[in-house]
Structure 1
Amino acid sequence: MRSSVPGTAKKFPLHPGHPERICWGCDKYCPASDMACGNGSSRTQHPAEIFGDDWFEPDPGADDAGAGREG
């Protein structure tokens, strides 16, 4: 997957088919069984694996959480 602008990061997939097969710790997207970046001893999980399929959607109650507070 190539970016259209030189020097920019790859487009991050929001809903990959099998996120458990890839390390998401850098732009190399290495196979989980053969990590080349040295990003640690275990792979970095995709946010969908941690937070669920709606991880990218804004939380509708997040804007109201700070309402009424004075800082």
Structure 2
Amino acid sequence: MRIAYCEDEPAQRSRMEMLLRTFAERKNIEYRNQLLARQVEEVQNIYLTMRGWRHDYPIICSR
């Protein structure tokens, strides 16, 4: 036996799709923010490392 067709079903499906899309967008934004934060941290680390090398380079060359 089949359940009777509900006329409101397309509206419910549309709302569910909207909720899923919103959830996916939020997860995507969260992922991109984490990725950006990690990249900023890596660039800062590279900068500090190169700054240390630049500081030490004249001392090493004068020996």
Name the structure where helix makes up a greater proportion of residues.
2
Structure 1-normalised TM-score? 0.24
Structure 2-normalised TM-score? 0.26
- Greater CA radius of gyration, 1 or 2? 2
